[in-house]
Amino acid sequence: GQQLNQSPQSMFIQEGEDVSMNCTSSSIFNTWLWYKQEPGEGPVLLIALYKAGELTSNGRLTAQFGITRKDSFLNISASIPSDVGIYFCAGQRETSGSRLTFGEGTQLTVNP
């Protein structure tokens, strides 16, 4: 079952606003990944994080690997309508090999 708590579940924002979502866990993860999924499509990798404290950007997206290795956040700046979708965090634990544990997802709606 899911062991990552992702929040918020959904967000309704105006175009141009910044967005922040996060994932927390009671377990330590070695890798944090952030994905975006659009309707009828598979998840697409946005950002991968490999070290505690790491802060990585991909255009208007910024994600950080928490110092405790038990959390991560994703920020989207100056949102645009095409940012609409479901955002998932996923983590890999040292003891689970390549298996991913997913968060419940954040549904983002951007009003023009």
Out of 18, 99, 109, 111, which residue is the one contacting other proteins (CB under 8 A)? 99
Nearest to 103 by CA among 11, 32, 55, 39: 32
From 17-25, 43-51, 60-68, 70-78, give the range in contact with other proteins by CB under 8 A.
Answer: 43-51
Out of 72, 79, 85, 103, which residue is the one contacting other proteins (CB under 8 A)? 103
CA 53 to chain centre: 15
**Cβ atoms 38, 26 nearer than 8 A:** no
Considering the rule CB under 8 A, would residue 2 count as an interface residue with other proteins? yes
Cα angle 35, 103, 72 (rounded to 5 degrees) comes to 75
User: Interface with other proteins by CB under 8 A: which residues?
Assistant: 2, 30-31, 33, 35, 40-45, 48, 50, 88, 90, 92, 98-100, 102-105, 107
